[in-house]
Amino acid sequence: MKKFKKLFIGFAALATLALILVPTMQAFTKSGDPLQKRAEMQELLDTMRADIEANGYTFTIGPNPAMQYSIDQLCTLNPDILPIENYVTTPTEMAMTEALPSAYTGYYTPIKNQASCGSCWAFGTCAQTETAILKNTGQTVDLSEQWLVSCNTSGWGCNGGWFAFDYHVNPGAALESCFPYTALDSPCISGCSFPYSINGWSYVGASNSVPAVDSIKTAIYTYGAVAAAVYVSSYFQGYTSGVFNSCKKRARSVNHAIQLVGWDDAKGAWLLKNSWGTGWGENGFMWIAYNCDLVGYAACYAIY
């Protein structure tokens, strides 16, 4: 009986350990063996490389820090969540598309890393508010994504959310220095001040579709960048360079918040700023073909 009890306790401990480890292992394997994980990653990359070569795609893939996580951990933007939208404004008159250059890079702040928390929605929000402040004042600020993750009253967190600009109108945006990023659903720190507030925000088009390429360009040219959504696949996750053009046919949903900060018509692509650190892509950025994988879905901007 004692032997059975010890075995039961041992199995229970192993089960608990497995539950703790699963979130970081599910990207490639159920095994905790790092050699097995590496082998499975290499197998996946080899399979994708063969497909890239067969289809003549114009980008490369390789091991990167984001691949230690599953797509479900990283990409939790949820278009089914009803945004608050108390402070959505009517789109303002923007520059004429005829005046737009064939290539342009707008305004953006340094690359950040959301790590294993599915807080892309908070990073997309902060990135766009930081852009609005930078374009209008010349000042680079570091806003707190963690405040949005931990202190919002919408039930959003590491398991998902939507663009949270309403919180940057009221009460405003807290600084990273007050509530540093933890990559967890940490308890709210209530003592932060809100030194920056936006006047409102707007979608470029509709909240549930991809605006025309020229409309997104005009918004980037006018407001410095746009926050937007995209559908992320394993190919996107493994991206290292080039123009990403492995586009899912008839993609119906988005799962990740990013920022579009520029374009190049010669490449036929947007310059996409991600929140997976500088070890992903081209120092944290990606060139992605226009209209690929619903990129630009729900494009929006902050008004400062």
Q: Which residues are catalytic?
A: 120, 256, 274
- Please name which of 67, 73, 79, 117 lies closest in space to residue 234, comparing C-alpha atoms: 67
- Helix, coil or strand: residue 203: strand
- Please name which of 280, 212, 210 lies closest in space to residue 240, comparing C-alpha atoms: 280
Residue 219's H or E segment, with its range, is helix 213-223
Name residues whose C-beta falls within 8 Å of residue 120's C-beta, 6 or more positions apart in sequence: 74, 75, 76, 77, 114, 256, 257, 258, 275
Within 26-64, residue ranges assigned H as helices are 34-55
Provide the pairing of β-strand 256-264 with 269-273.
antiparallel
- Please name which of 258, 288, 284 lies closest in space to residue 270, comparing C-alpha atoms: 288
Task: Give the tokens for residue 238.
Answer: 């493994």
In angstroms, rounded to a whole number, what is the distance separating the alpha carbons of residues 229 and 203?
Answer: 12
